[in-house]
Structure 1
């Protein structure tokens, strides 16, 4: 396993991280579609990941209504110290008016709830799950900073923010001397390259790490989907079209992936993951799995080195139209320092 600095910190995280959205939620949509793994199955995946050198594990309070955190807390046990443990808050977790969002009230309570479910006294990377337009950024940052100073959080990050929203938080933190977001967690795949326009250049410029979720586009790039309707009926993509994909463009991407995969004698998902790992500014790629063989295949992507020809072919078939003002400034990816 290879490791990368987490943003501008001195901490290192594995280039492939384990996502736990598949843990828990049996009988409860949408979690039953995503995995609904019990403690035994989750424990096998966690053990395999850790034994393979993975040290970053990501969850969220909302996953299976908190059950994902509970399962992860139980299966980690004595191996907690081997893990950079990441979780998130924002989404509604109860019926009360304040059990949602990023107010000081909810940040404080949500953190205590996650600590209890995860059976730990601190969170290594505590991330806001979205942008809260109702709460001043200074209020959220102040609450997070207090928790950092109290030793309950090591680092803070953000997920699913626009570049201007992230800059608003970073600016407020710098102005007031508060803890700064060290990472962003964002969707990125060959079928969804939107972050290259603003989010990725912003992150590189600001020393913010980029953690990628859904690098296989919700299973669309798993090799189980093609333009001829060959879709595994039990697959996640067959049951949930999220994240959205432009199908015709997506099928062209899958065709190109098959060519590159055959060239290396590997599976399609390994190539799709290797492409994301090769992108400038990407710190770690978060992969989920339902079975050990799926996780083993995904972990192998860290060792696959794509050739210049491979990357050129995949870049060409997946390229997005260049929007204004980028067409007046050139390719934003080429401007990365």
Structure 2
């Protein structure tokens, strides 16, 4: 496994991030524990979750599964860089969601109880809160930091100007601010390259792509359809993209064959080649899925392959080969 620094922090994290969203709804607790053990065996130390995962309001099902895994001992907690999130609705009463100082305090304590740990390595805002001032957010977070309950802070689904707002507010308080941003980023959805990724690079914020396979679209969907396998890309946003660009996906899968690689690993490797990317989140439902993703770290894409991928999945904007604002202006 390869490691890198999380943004401008001194924290070393694996270049693949173990996403746990499937733990509970799709993967049993026993299998979830086995996947986490297997991840450690292969050097993955960066685990990502959220208080809403498990999708039973207020229960924190996935965090509880991870907490019981930590409780088994064997250095599991000590070896793990633990990231969780707050913002989503955890109850029916007011102040049981978003980023008020009150919810920050309550949500952090609840996650710590479920996770059976006394600190969170990376505490992330799952979404921007347009109703709470940054002074209040950073005040709430600074208390957690002083209490030793949280070490680093991150964001998810922020626009570039939100990152700038957050960092300038943190700077005024002489606070480290954000060290990471989780964004939708993959070959088929490159919008973050216009504003989010440049802002993250400028502020030393590590980008953590979620949905690196775009709901399975980039994971060999056409091959799997031919083989009669059930694929996630048969519905939702990925299905619409597939319908509109079947020829492009066909060419992409052919390129993967020419490279002697699985399409999913080409998509992951491409992200690992992008400046400013810490590592994509992989969300294995089985150990076999995890094993398949592990080889992506060793897949080096030559300039010809990268150029061909840009042809198939061009950067956003009419002048997408250029940075913003030239990408969409003169």
Instruction: Say yes or no: TM over 0.5.
Output: yes
Match status 1:150 vs 2:164? no
Q: Deviations over 1:239-281 (max 9, x none)?
A: x524685335643442233223212322111111111111111
Q: Residue 186 of structure 1: SS of its match in structure 2?
A: strand
Cα separation, 2, equivalents of 1:284 and 1:165: 21
Question: How many angstroms apart in 1 are the aligned matches of 2:202 and 2:2?
Answer: 23
**Pair 1:317 & 2:307 matched:** no
Residue 232 of structure 1: how far off its partner (Å)? 5.8
Q: Where does residue 71 of structure 1 map in the other structure?
A: 65
Q: Contact (CA 8 Å) 2:112, 2:120: kept in 1 or not?
A: yes
Change (3 A) 1:204 1:244: farther
Aligned 1:65-214 pairs, distance under 5 A: 65=56, 66-76=60-70, 77-78=72-73, 79-214=76-211
Deviation at 1:38, TM superposition (A): 1.4
Structure 1 unaligned segments of length 5 or more: list them.
Answer: 26-34, 333-337
Alpha-carbon distance in 1 for matches of 2:62, 2:216: 20
Deviates more, 1:250-259 or 1:95-104: 250-259
Aligned-CA RMSD value:
2.2
* 73 and 187 in structure 1: CA distance in 2 versus 1, 3 angstrom threshold: same
Q: Closer, same or farther in 2 for the Cα pair 1:247/1:258, shift >3 Å?
A: closer
Give CA deviations for 1:282-324 in whole Å, capped at 9, x if unaligned.
1111100111111111111001011111111011110144258
Q: 1:272 aligns with which of 245, 255, 267?
A: 267
- Secondary structure of the structure 2 residue equivalent to 1:211: strand
Does 2:239 match 1:237?
no
2:20 equivalent to 1:20: yes
Cα 1:289/1:242, change in 2 over 3 Å: farther
CA apart distance, 1:138: 1.2
Distance 1:54 1:43 in 2: 14
Query: Deviation per CA, 1:143-202, whole angstroms, max 9, x where unpaired?
Result: 011101110001000000111111111110101223401110111111100010001111
The change in CA–CA distance for 1:328 and 1:194 in structure 2 (over 3 A counts) is closer
| Residue range with higher mean Cα deviation, 229-238 or 266-275 | 229-238
CA contact (8 A) 1:16 1:284 kept: yes
Distance 1:160 1:327 in 2: 20
TM-score, normalization: structure 1?
Answer: 0.89
1:25-40 paired onto structure 2 within 5 Å:
25=25, 35=26, 37-40=27-30
Aligned to 2:249: 254
CA contact (8 A) 2:193 2:315 kept: no
Asked whether the equivalents of residues 6 and 283 of structure 1 are also in contact (C-alpha less than 8 Å), the reply is yes
Q: 1:105 to 1:247 in 2, by over 3 A?
A: same
Equivalences, count: 320
Say which SS state the counterpart of residue 151 (structure 1) adopts: coil
- Provide the residue aligned with 2:10 in structure 1: 10
Change (3 A) 1:24 1:278: same
Structure 1 counterpart SS, 2:280: strand
**In structure 2, how many angstroms separate the alpha carbons of the residues matched to 1:150 and 1:323?**
49
